Amino acid sequence: MGFIGSGKIGSAAARLAVGAGHDVVMSNSRGPETLTDLVGELGPRARAGTSLDAAQSGDVVVVTIPLKEYDQVPRDALAGKVVLDTMNYYPERDGQIAALDDESTTTSELLQAHLPDSRVVKVFNNIHFAHLAELPRPAGADDRSAIAIAGDDAAAKATVTGLLDDMGYDAHDLGPLSEGWRTQRDTSAYGQFYFNDPQDLAAGPRQATAATIAQKASEAKRYRDS
Ligand SMILES: NC(=O)c1ccc[n+]([C@@H]2O[C@H](COP(=O)([O-])OP(=O)(O)OC[C@H]3O[C@@H](n4cnc5c(N)ncnc54)[C@H](OP(=O)(O)O)[C@@H]3O)[C@@H](O)[C@H]2O)c1
C-alpha cells in the first residue's frame, strides 16, 4: 500500500495495514528523510519514499492529505489503481472551494475528477484517527465496528472491503461516490457515533455497526436542506 500523507489518519491506517501483513510506502510533503521515526516504528514492512514513489509502488494507494492539496496527487502514476480517499473539506484550512460550497460535487468526486483513470473509494474520512486505532476487532467479534465506504467501481470497493476486514473492520457501502456527501463534515454520519462522549475524546470510542452507520447516513442532510 502506498500512502500519500503520513499524518494522523495516514499513520493510523498504516499501523493497521502493517499489522495485517501489508507492506507500506509512506510519504509526505517534506520528503522521506522526515519519516525515519515513523517507518522505524512501523517496522520492516514499511519504507519511506516520495509521493510519486508511494503512488508507483502501491497496488492500492491512500490519499490522506489536506484537501487543498488534492490536485498535487500524481495522476499518471495512479492510473488504473484503487485510490483510497480520506480527505475532508475544512475551508479554514483548505480555502473556499466553490463546487463544495454550492454542493454541486463532493470531496471524493473532486479527487476522482483529478484522477480520471483511477478508481477512487471514499473511506476513513469520518472516523477520528484515535478511534481508528482503538476499534479494530477480529472478524465475527460481537463488538466489531464498521467503516463507511463509497465508490463508483464495485471491484475497487470489494478490494477496500477486504482491506478493512484485514484491518479489523466491517464495511458499510454507502453507494456511489456521489453518495459520499452523507459522511462529509458536519453531517449526522460524520463520526460522532464512534464517540462515547463527543465532548471528551478521553472517554474513548464506542462500537458502530453497519446498521448504525446506515441509520446515521439515512438521516444525513445536505447543508442546503438543513
Ligand atoms: N485527523 C483525523 O482524525 C482525520 C480523520 C478522518 C479524515 N481526516 C482527513 O484526512 C486528511 C489527513 O488528515 P490528518 O489529520 O492525517 O492530517 P495531518 O496529520 O495534518 O497530516 C497530513 C499529511 O499530509 C502530508 N501532505 C500535505 N501536503 C502534501 C502533499 N502535497 N503531498 C504529499 N503529502 C502531503 C503532510 O506532510 P508534511 O507533514 O510533510 O507536510 C502530512 O503527512 C485530511 O483531509 C483530514 O481532513 C482526518
Q: Which tens digit of pLDDT belongs to each residue from 154-171?
A: 999 999 999 999 999 999
The average pLDDT across 64-93 equals 98
- Contact indicator for 67, 94 with CB cutoff of 8 Å: yes
Q: What pLDDT digit, counting tens, does each position of 79-131 carry?
A: 999 999 999 999 999 999 999 999 999 999 999 999 999 999 999 999 999 99
Query: What is the best residue among 4, 35, 64, 87 to mutate for testing ligand 1's pocket, by most ligand atoms within 8 Å of CB?
Result: 64
- Span 8-20, average pLDDT: 98
Single out the residue of 142, 104, 118, 110 nearest to residue 62, CA to CA.
118
- CA 87 to each of CA 40, 69, 111, 207: distance values in angstroms, whole numbers, following the listed order: 26, 10, 9, 22
pLDDT exceeds cutoff 90 at 27: yes
Q: Above 80 in pLDDT, residue 225?
A: no
Distance 5 CA to ligand 1 centre (A): 5
Give me ligand 1 centre to Cα 8, in Å: 7
What's the gap in Å between 122 CA and the centre of ligand 1? Answer: 15
- Is the pTM higher than 0.85? The answer reads yes
Specify the length of the chain in residues.
226
The dihedrals phi and psi of 100, each to the nearest 5 degrees, come to -90, -35
| Residue of higher predicted confidence among 36 and 201 | 36
Catalogue all structural domains in the chain, each as residue range(s) with its CATH number. 2-225 (3.40.50.720)
Q: What is the pLDDT of residue 226?
A: 60
* Cβ atoms within 10 Å of 210's Cβ, excluding its own: 17
Residue 44 in grid coordinates:
520492516
pLDDT over threshold 70, residue 184: yes
Say yes or no to pLDDT of 223 above 80: no
The yes-or-no verdict on residue 192 having pLDDT over 80 is yes
Q: Which amino acid is at 80?
A: G
Closest CA to 86 of 5, 141, 178, 202: 5
72 lines ligand 1 (CB under 6 A): yes
- Rg of the chain over Cα atoms, rounded to whole angstroms, equals 16
| Local structure of residue 102 (DSSP, 8 states) | T
Whether 74 lines ligand 1, by a CB cut-off of 6 Å, is: no
Q: What is the mean pLDDT of residues 10-28?
A: 98
What is the Å distance from ligand 1's center to 4 Cα? 9
205 ligand 1 Cβ < 6 A: no
Pick from 135, 118, 117: nearest CA to 126: 135
Give the β-pairing of 146-151 and 24-27: unpaired
Which of 3, 9, 110 is the pocket-test mutation for ligand 1 (most atoms within 8 Å of CB)?
9
pLDDT value, residue 186: 86
Atom of ligand 1 lying closest to residue 128 CA = 3
Indicate which residue's Cα is closest to atom 18 of ligand 1: 7
Determine the angle formed by the axes of helices 154-167 and 8-19, rounding to 10 degrees. Answer: 80
Question: How much is the pLDDT for 200?
Answer: 87
